[in-house]
Amino acid sequence: MDLLRFITAGSVDDGKSTLIGRLLYDTKNILADQMEAIERASKTRNSGEIDLALLTDGLRSEREQGITIDVAYKYFQTPNRKFISIDAPGHIQYTRNMVTGASNADLAIILVDARHGVVEQTRRHSLIASMLGIPHVIVAINKMDLVGNSQDAFLEIAKSYTELAEKLSIKDLTIIPVSALNGDNIVERSPNMGWYTGETLLSVLETVNVLKDQNQEDGRFAVQYVIRPQTEELHDYRGYAGRVQSGTFKKGDLVKVLPSEQESKIAKIEFGGNEIEEASVLESVTILLEDDIDISRGDSIVSLTNSPIVSQDIEALVCWMDDRKTLKPGNKYVLQHGTARSRCSVRDIEYQIDINSYEKLDSESLKLNDVARIVLRTAQPIAYDPYQKNRANGAAILIDETSNVTVGACMIE
């Protein structure tokens, strides 16, 4: 049984919280005392009816305002899969939260209110899903009960969404008519929409193949830490601890260390101190090389025949996340890419992207939640792959040098 991480996106009141609550409820993942707590909280509110949305509302300030402002995680499972649901707020002022949630997601559920159809937020959420390279997108057309469960209404929205999706790079798209409130087509197929013959939401969640999404070709390994026990029996031991970002590594593989370009051969791969044959994507292992070369945190071990780009000049899509300062050409930051950190300066803002209309705009500076294509110059060379080809080795963050806050999410092009 494997793990699927998915994000839910929608405008306020589209029914995101109700949908997650419904998934948890119908898959029997709500525990008795949690149910009691919700019942207790529901009573103090106006309606008195049990509100499944309360399951995902975390912090008190949010409870008071009745909205979700940060990223919340929920865990549940079915006999077929374990799930981590990432709930991010939908309003434009929280774009950075959605970008954050989307960065780790294998799948996105984008909610559309059947009464309103494709709206500005739908366009924005879809752009973010596409830009962050989420391989699978489910568009859940919610509140079908409020449009008489009409097939025509569904088809019309599905058509306009498909048109929108053509402008983006969404690899795998499924559109499902649902009612989160009634549980229609969430876990059980709905008798209210007999005309719908596709899969239920849960069945898509349970069956999408995430293994295929991973980059199995490009051998990339960022060194996190050098293990040197320096005991008598392990006197010369030098193990490079890290996680396989993409591809696979085997004993005997010829490799190259970047950015120094030194070549060597894998002498041994270990996990938990035991030798293993091979290490594949996302495994945390220790690599030992045949040659004694100087490697430290921030270096990459990559396959000899298939190398990333090594450069100090980088072009990237950036989502700006700082609410206090703007990004301007000439500004300096710390770029963190894999385990490497380098100072960098902004050479240029090529264009900004209107995340609602997808139009390219001229821009002098970026403020919170702006998305733009920028040009960076780094102090040290960076060994990267384009993000759309290799999510793990094409992602980077910008850190403010004085406040140390993470201020930008970069997808290297």
Partner 1 sequence: MSISVKEASGITTDRSAPDYLDQLEAEAIYIMREVAGQFERPALLFSGGKDSITLVHLAQKAFAPGKIPFPLVHVDTGHNFIEAIEYRDELAEKIGAKLVVRYVEDTIKAKGLKEQTGKNASRNWLQTFTLLDTIEEFEFDACIGGARRDEEKARAKERIFSFRDEFGQWDPKRQRPELWNLFNGRIQKGENVRVFPISNWTELDVWAYLKREGITLPSIYFSHERELILRDGKLLNNTPVIEADPEDRIVTRQVRFRTVGDMTCTAAVESSAATLDEVIAEITISRISERGETRIDDQQTEAAMEDRKKGGYF
The residues that touch ligand GDP, with contacts defined as CB under 6 A, are 10, 12-18, 53, 142-143, 145-146, 179-181
71 belongs to the binding site for partner 1 (CB under 8 A): yes
Q: How far is the CB of 262 from partner 1 (least distance, A)?
A: 21
Comparing CB distances to ligand GDP, the nearer of 19 and 170 is 19
Shortest distance, position 29 Cβ to ligand GDP, whole Å = 17
Nearest-angstrom CA–CA distance, 333 and 388: 24
Residue 289 and residue 266 in contact, taking contact as beta carbons nearer than 8 Å: yes
The 194-213 contact track toward partner 1, x by CB under 8 A, reads ------------xx-x-x--
Q: Which residues contact 103 (CB under 8 A, 6 or more apart)?
A: 132, 395, 409
Nearer to ligand GDP, 13 or 413 (CB): 13
The site for partner 1, by CB under 8 A, has a size of: 72
Residue 179 interacts, among partner 1, ligand GDP, none and using kind-specific CB cut-offs from 5 to 8 Å, with ligand GDP
* Residue 74 contact, options ligand GDP, partner 1, none, Cβ 5-8 Å cut-off depending on partner type: partner 1
Are 338 and 378 in contact, with CB atoms under 8 Å apart? no
What character string, x for contact with partner 1 (CB under 8 A) and - otherwise, covers 334-353? x-xxxx--------------
CB of 261 to partner 1, least distance (A): 22
Given partner 1, ligand GDP, none, residue 142, with its beta carbon under 5 to 8 Å by kind, binds: ligand GDP
Among 43, 167, 228, 265, binds partner 1 (CB under 8 A): 228
Question: Distance between CA atoms of 43 and 75, rounded to whole angstroms?
Answer: 25
Q: Binding to partner 1 by residue 93, rule CB under 8 A?
A: no
Minimum CB distance to partner 1, residue 368 (Å): 11
- Distance (Å, whole) CA 270 – CA 251: 10
Supply the minimum distance, in Å, between the C-beta of residue 297 and partner 1. Answer: 5
Nearer to partner 1, 118 or 372 (CB): 372
The type of residue at 182 is N
Residues numbered 120-149 forming contacts with partner 1, rule: CB under 8 A = none
Which of 269, 314, 392, 412 is close enough to bind partner 1 by CB under 8 A? Answer: 392
Nearer to ligand GDP, 176 or 353 (CB): 176
Distance, CA of 232 to CA of 221 (rounded, Å): 29
What are 64's two structure tokens? 């008071």
Q: If binding is defined by CB under 8 A, does position 37 make contact with partner 1?
A: yes
Does position 272 interact with partner 1 (CB under 8 A)? The reply is: yes
Nearer to ligand GDP among residue 21 and residue 219 (C-beta): 21
